Amino acid sequence: MKLKIAIQKSGRLHDDSVKLLKDCGIDVKNGMNKLKTESDNFPLEIYFLRDDDIPQYVEDAVADIGIVGENVVFEKQKKVTEVEQLGFGKCRLSVAVSRNEQYTGVEYLQGKRIATSYPVILEDFLKARGVTAEIHEISGSVEIAPGIGLADAIVDLVSSGSTLFMNGLKEVDTVLKSQAVLIRNNELAPEKLAILEKLLFRIRSVKKAKNNKYVLLNAPNDRLQEIIGLLPGMKSPTVLPLAESGWSSVHSVLSENEFWDIIEKLKDAGAQGILVVPIEKMIV
């Protein structure tokens, strides 16, 4: 039995989705010109589909699981379960207006015409704030709508904001923060749930590795306890004696979020020869 996963055929999530599976040790053949392929070393079938169609395929059990943007999950409102946030494909669904407009808050949108590819999310956003507006659903090139007189504002996905800038727009409010997520069918058979758990174990190990660094350093023994106190590690740092008397080698793992602050404190505490090594997999 194989677990069927749907990923984006092309677009901003495709490359990272394939890379995640490969980082999990799963052999994925090139699917750019295929709709389906299979892994040789893991019980997985991979379907390459349009991003917007993936929630429907998962709800209908054509695919058991899928990798898709949270924005699509919220917009399509299909009966699926979000299993895991994957940490890539991060973006914002934002309100943008002409650069010369004075945006005073969400009340600015009252009675305005708003162009978007996400009418469901936008309607919920406006309703929750007591704002009534005219929503124009557009499937693509939303950013040109104000320039051609179709809309007063837009709600669209934003990563860097460069596309908005080139079209004379500015980002003024955030409707939703999104990233790639793993979703599953709500009625998976126990055998497929077991395969999914194995896949999740690998995914979580890869995610932990990306968020942590392996650190090796040399510490004077008279300041060893102070240095160890700065290194949380997975349980506690590993300490090994060096050939040079009075010194020890200390090995530990640091979170990416706290890395630079702790490195500076380690130097101030007398640590030398600090090496930082990326972690490929991290099993805890």
Tens place of pLDDT for every residue, the chain, 284 residues?
A: 999 999 999 888 999 999 999 999 999 876 556 789 999 999 999 999 999 999 999 999 999 999 999 999 999 999 999 999 999 999 999 999 999 999 999 999 999 999 999 999 999 999 999 999 999 999 888 999 998 999 999 999 998 778 898 999 999 999 999 999 999 999 999 999 999 999 999 999 999 888 888 899 999 999 999 998 888 655 678 899 999 899 999 998 888 778 888 888 999 999 999 998 888 877 77
- pLDDT value of residue 29: 78
Name the nearest CA neighbour of 89 among 204, 180, 183.
180
- pLDDT value of residue 212: 86
Query: How far is the C-alpha of 142 from the C-alpha of 177, rounded, in Å?
Result: 18
- Both tokens assigned to 117: 């590819």
116 neighbors 154 (Cβ within 8 angstroms) = yes
Residues 6+ apart with CB under 8 A from 76: 52, 55, 56, 120
- pLDDT value of residue 234: 59
Amino acid found at 135: I
For the chain, domains (ranges, CATH) are: 3-88+179-209 (3.40.190.10), 91-178 (3.40.190.10), 212-278 (3.30.70.120)
- Both tokens assigned to 93: 């669904």
CA distances from 198 to 33, 64, 68, 72, 202 (A): 28, 14, 20, 26, 7
Q: In what order do the strands lie in the sheet with 65-69?
A: 36-38, 44-49, 3-8, 65-69, 180-185, 80-85
Name the nearest CA neighbour of 198 among 65, 68, 55.
65
CA 265 from chain centre, in angstroms, equals: 30
At residue 168's C-alpha, the angle toward residues 164 and 171, to 5°, is 45
DSSP run (H or E) holding 169: strand 169-178
